Homo-oligomer: A and B are copies of this chain.
Amino acid sequence: MKKPIATQSVQDYLKHIYELTEHGSSASTGALAQRLNVKPASVTGMLRKLAAEDPPLVEYQKHQGVMLTADGRRAALEVIRHHRLIEAWLVQSLGYSWDEVHEEAERLEHVISEEFERRIDAALGHPTRDPHGEIIPGADLSMPEDESMPLSALRPGRSATVLRVLARDPNLLRHLDSLGLTPGARIEALDYSPFDNNLTIRVGEKMHVLGLNITTKVFVRFDGESHKD
């Protein structure tokens, strides 16, 4: 019932495959190579290996991209849970800011014990989201559906609440913070310009005109929509 070991490298491959495929499609060799900072030839080699593991971790057919098996998905979610709990805990317990935590978590995620995981989870009160608003998989590795919509879909007259931001770049994160676009922030859409896709919003007292570069990276829940189906 216990899986033996997965190297750091294997864990990183699985994590990135998960992130590329969470919404159905399969991940390409090239896309993985780019995310992992590795050459495509190296990715092919690893994918063959992952598909040949005893319980196979991926389903892989030449030239067709990969998808995670149930086992691979569980292993990926285990790493993602580590990553996000660590981020939350670096912020809450050591005073890191949200633009500093990713890099640190990237290394710690591979070496903490399950005991450590349990302890920070408990110390944080079993949080459901990390500092960027990403959902933290449960201890049972369950992953609730993400119901957020990109801010780019918000139109004048409607308002919304920021759920999460999709960004790792520290400069972008600091910029979003300076705009007040952090999880929980209330937003009102004031104007939309169809030609350049600029959206004018109000956050608290402040007004901002945001381009797609930003509005596609901030995910919100529209106000006045049912939470459940």
Contacts from A to B (Cβ < 8 Å): 93-96, 100, 103-104, 107-108, 110-113, 115-116, 119-120, 123
Contact = CB atoms under 8 A, between A and B. Distances in A.
Contacts of A104: 112-113, 115-116
Contacts of A94: 116, 119-120, 123
A158 to B, nearest CB: 41
Contacts of A119: 94-96
A116 B112 CA distance: 15
Secondary structure of the A contact surface, majority rule: helix
Given A93-B93, A94-B119, 19 more contacts: A94-B116, A94-B120, A94-B123, A95-B119, A96-B119, A100-B115, A103-B113, A104-B112, A104-B113, A104-B115, A104-B116, A107-B111, A107-B112, A107-B113, A108-B108, A108-B111, A108-B112, A110-B111, A111-B111
Determine how many copies of this chain the complex contains: 2
Nearest to A93: B93
Which 9 pairs between the two chains have the least Cβ-Cβ distance? A107-B111, A94-B119, A111-B111, A104-B113, A108-B111, A104-B116, A94-B123, A93-B93, A95-B119
Nearest to A106: B111
10 contacts: A94-B119, A94-B123, A95-B119, A100-B115, A104-B115, A104-B116, A107-B113, A108-B111, A108-B112, A110-B111
Contacts of A107: 111-113
A38 B180 CA distance: 54
A125 to B, nearest CB: 14
Q: Which of A95, A104, A110, A111 has the most CB of B within 10 A?
A: A111
